[in-house]
Each structure stands twice: as structure tokens, then as C-alpha cells.
Amino acid sequence: MDFFDRQAAAQKKTGLLVFYFILAIVCLIALIVVAISQIASIPWNDPQLLGYVTLGTVAVVTIGSLVKIAELAQGGRVVAAMLGGEPVTPNTTDPQEKKLLNVVEEMSLASGVPVPEVYVLNDNTINAFAAGHGPGDTAIGVTRGCIDKLSRDELQGVIAHEFSHILHGDMKLNVRLIGLLNGILCVALIGAFAMRIFAYIRVDDGGSSNDGDRKNGMALTVAVFLIGLAVYIIGYIGVFFGNLIKAAVSRQREFLADASAVQYTRNPDGIAGALWKIGKFESRLSSPHAEEASHLYFGDGLSARTFSFFDTHPPLEERIRAVAPNFEPPASLDMPPAPSSQRSSASAQPPPLPTQPVSTAETLERTLAGAAALLASVPDFALSNVRDLHGAIAFVYAMLLDERSDYREAQLASIGVDDAMRREVMGLYNRRSEIPLPQRLPLIDLVVPTLRQLSPDQYATFRENVHKLIAADQAVHLFEFALQKTLLRHLDLYFTRQTGASVKYRTIIPLLPSVQTLLSALAYIDHPDPAQRDAAFQAGVQQLMINAASYPMTRVDGCDLTRIDNALDEAAQASPQVKRTILAACREVVKHDGVVDTQQYELLRAIADSLDCPMPPLPPVTE
């Protein structure tokens, strides 16, 4: 199952979840109608009763759900803050937090997912979660006990489990679960509100002449109170069944995420060891919101329940047997030693990923070991800069400076930086040659979490400066284009909370001119021989299942970056299955001659990123 299969499966799961909750709401409406008809002596099939109850219940559930989802619209950081998480900055000096960040970075580079924000919860138990609407606004949270009590392999298993939720599209489903349950809970709260209000209404005691009115008023008060009580009870019955649905959905996804973590790390003992330690140290969270987000966690975050059908996670023994049937618990519970430095943990070589790629857009087998090796090979000065806010800004500027001195001076003048920033930018530019070309785009990926620390106004200035640096030489180069499509796109999503493009194209036919441009552009790169170029293009066209003769290569002057950008804007509006076809065709062009050129891969990454498909960086190669 590739990335697009997982996204399609997630959409089906969301549809099934919505169906279950609609069924629960219908049952709520039916119970409320029956309760009111009995208390108020109104026929249950009275059109007005049915209409008012249906409209009222649907309105309460819808508004309650939308309000909660709107609260979480700013992404995973809101959930992390709600649970008491503290952000871990990229330049942290805590050895255990460095270990955590390094594992997250490795997994991000191996999967092509933007590096998420990382939070630590001040709980000594062992647990973790991933939250957000999609890869661009994800936050990963772990407890203090998780990073203190787990070895690096065990921590990597936990993080791989959370990345599985990201890649399977589970996070959006999780947010909708929180919203829908809150909507049903609001029905119960309306009932409680009615009881509190009408329980204290006093009917005017005006004398015997008003005895009839007084009795009628008392009867009305009692009836409304009883209706409020009934709605309160029925609302919590709805919450009861909503939690059953949540638990059933969550349990199945936990088994899948465990299995995926083993696939990603090829180390079943890592995640099995983490699960075993949960049994010894517990996974319960102290946050008052722990119940609300119980389906997000790696382990059960709540106290033991009387009834197992409310459990959002399978029993630990079952999970361990599923991933490592021959797992042998360690002889002691000695804590793992703290890492001595970030670089030493980066050089650890985790086992490789399976041959099945993380995403359709991969052209080579990707490994966590390769991601670790890439991080270990990056010069120290580059890593230290991308993890410092001031240094990260300077690093991006330095990567965009032109090699011609007169253009370089014009670029620096256009952004108006102060002397200190100018010196830092030029210092990094002078050492830019020490960073191999294939490492530059992965380093840009690592800049993203650092630049999220900017204020909105600071980001607006940074974004404007990036555009000025690119435009100063009156030509957009491929690396600059790829940087725009990766760095700025992810930061735009973070700071502006933009949503992805809606689906406009469900077949490839109306997109063929755009795809023709993309395939041609990829074929022109590193194919000076016309015959090779045409063969690479035809290899991509064959993936489209169309008459190749009707779609020849676009002329080279029709493949400039402006036209590529327009083509990507169109392709971004395709359905997941159409995007899969486009990326498969692009991949065939790139790998046709058996050699992946750095420029080809930069453009392929820009294409994949525009289509919301995670794609790992190119591993270090000899230039």
C-alpha cells in the first residue's frame, strides 16, 4: 500500500466514521422524541415535535463539533498545548531532548514528511502522540518518561509508530473524532442547562384566583425539568456509544501503526521493548484533557477501566505478540545512558527500511540508516546554523546568493539586512562549497521547524526577502524553485493556516497539457542526447495509458519554471489517484537512464511537494 492508497483508505475510514455518528445522532433524535412525547403527552409522530427535535439536535451537534474543530484548526500545537506539552527548540541543550529531535529528524528525512514540531509532556510515564490536520501542521509529543526511560531503538520505534499515523492520514480522523464527540456531549450539556435554569423558576403566588395559572406553571416547570433531565441522560448515552465507536476505530489503527513501525525500522524489538516498558512504568497522562484525546496516544493514557470495550488500545501483550512473537524482556530495567552529544546519536546506524517505499514518488530505496548517515555527514557549522533561528535565516539567504559578485551585492542591498546579518550570511556563503549539492535541500527541510519560531510579522519579512533574493538576478534557478515549493510552502501553511487545493480533476485527460510540460522538463534535465531525452519522455507517457503520438515533448522554451509552476497549480487540484499517476510518470522519466541527477531530483521533489506527497531527500552522492 503506497501513500495514495493510504490516503484513499483514510478517506473511506472517515466516511465510515461519519456514517456511524450519523446513526448515533438519529438514535439520539428518536430517544429525545420518545421522551418528550411521554412527558408532554404529545404523539411521537407529531410533525412539529419531530421537526423541532431534529433541527435542534442536529444544530447542537453540528455547532458543538465545528466549534471544537475550529479550536484545533491551528494544528497539532494546539493539541500539544492542551495536553500540557512544552515545545522543544531545535537548539536545545538537553541531551535527551537532542536525542529525541535527532530521531524525529531522521524519520522525517527518511519519509519525506516535513519535520514536525516536537513537544515534551512533564509526565514520568511512557507515552507519545501525533496531532494535526496533515503533515504540514503536525506536532509530535512525548512524555519525559519516554525519552528518559527508553533506549534510542525503543524511542525510534515509538516515533516510527507516530509517523505511521501521519502517513496513514489518521490525524485528520482524530481531530474529527474529537469534534464529533464534543458535539454529542453538547446535547447532554443542553439538558443540564435546562435543568439548572428551570429548576429555579418561581411561579408567582398571587392568591386563589391564580391557582389555575399557578398549577399550570408548575406543571410546565416540572415538564421542562424532566425533558432537560431526559435530554441530559440521552446525551450521555450518545457519548457512551460515541466512545465505543472511538475505541473500536482506534484499536484497529494501533495494530496497523505498530506493524508499520516495524516495517519502517526493521527492528521489532524496538517497539516491543517500548510496549513492555509501558507495562512496567505505565502510560497514564496527568492532563485534565487526557480523556478527550485518548485515541491519539501510543499507549493507553487513562487509568484502567472496568470494561475493556472502552479501551482505545489493544492489550499490551497482544501488541507485543503481534510485532515480536519471540520478544524476550530485558533482564533489568536500567535506564539507558544519556547521549553524550547530538552528533554521536546522529551517527548511529538504524536498520534499513523494507523495499516497499514510503511514498510513490520515491525513485530509490530509502532507509533510516541513509537518513542517519546524511545527518552525520553534514558539516557541523551547517547543522548548528539551521537549528538556531538567526543562523537559519542567514543559512537560507546564503543558499540563495548568486556566485557573481555584482549580482550578490545587489541581492544583499535589496533585502536591507543589518551589518551583523550581512557578515553571517557572507560567512555561510563563503563556506557553501563545503556542503555538497545533494545535502542542501535536506538542510532546507531541517530549517522549517526553526523558522516556525518566527512571529507572523517576522515571517512576512523573511518571505519577502526570499522572493527579493530570487528575483534580484532576474532568473529563477531550479534550486530556488525547489526551495520555494518546499520551504515557503510549508511555512505558508503554518503561518496562514491555508488548506490544500480542492479536488477539481478526477481524470488525467484535462491535465494532459500540464503533465506534458512536467515530463518534458524532467526529460530535458541531464539528457543532452535527443534520443535519450525522447526515450525518457516516452517512458513517462506510457504510465499515463494514452496515445503517446498525440502528446510529443514540449519545446524547451515551453518548459520554463513559470510554466512548470502553472502546471503544478493545475495538478495540485487532482484527486489522489490522478496524482499517483502523475508522480509515477515523473518517476519513470527520472529513473529511465538509471542515474538520478541532483537537478532532476530537486524538480521531482518540488513536484511531489506541490502534490502533497511526502518524498525523501536524495542520499549523499559523489559529485
Dihedral sign for Cα 185, 187, 191, 196, please. Answer: positive
Which grid coordinates are listed for 302? 487513562
Residue among 243, 238, 242 nearest 310 (CA): 243
The three-point CA angle 58-223-192 to 5° equals 50
Q: Which residues pair with 128 in a beta bridge?
A: 142
- For this structure, is 365 an active site residue? no
The contacts of residue 550 (CB under 8 Å, 6+ apart) are none
What backbone torsions phi and psi does residue 203 show, to the nearest 5 degrees?
-90, 135
Cβ atoms of 86 and 119 within 8 Å: the answer is yes
Cβ atoms of 590 and 604 within 8 Å: the answer is yes
Which grid coordinates are listed for 609? 511537494
Q: Which residues pair with 120 in a beta bridge?
A: 86, 142
Neighbours of 403 (CB within 10 A): 9
The 10 Å CB-count burial string (b at 16+, else e) for 438-448 is bbbbbbbbbbb
- Spot the catalytic one: 97, 162, 254, 480: 162
Q: Helices 437-451 and 598-610: crossing angle, nearest 10°?
A: 30
What backbone torsions phi and psi does residue 359 show, to the nearest 5 degrees?
-140, 160
| d(C-alpha 397, C-alpha 417), whole Å | 10
Cβ atoms of 236 and 112 within 8 Å: the answer is no
How far, rounded to the nearest angstrom, does the alpha carbon of residue 479 sit from its chain's CA centroid? 25
* Type of residue numbered 552: P
Cβ atoms of 289 and 230 within 8 Å: the answer is no
> Which residue stretches of 127-210 are H helix?
144-149, 152-167, 170-198
Cβ atoms of 168 and 256 within 8 Å: the answer is yes
| d(C-alpha 507, C-alpha 518), whole Å | 17
The contacts of residue 5 (CB under 8 Å, 6+ apart) are none
Q: Counting Cβ atoms within 10 Å, is residue 557 exposed (0-12), middle (13-18) or buried (19+)?
A: exposed
| d(C-alpha 19, C-alpha 12), whole Å | 11
| d(C-alpha 155, C-alpha 143), whole Å | 11
| d(C-alpha 261, C-alpha 354), whole Å | 11
How would DSSP label each residue in 65-106? HHHHHHHTTT-HHHHHHHTTEEEPPTT---HHHHHHHHHHHH
Active site residues: 162
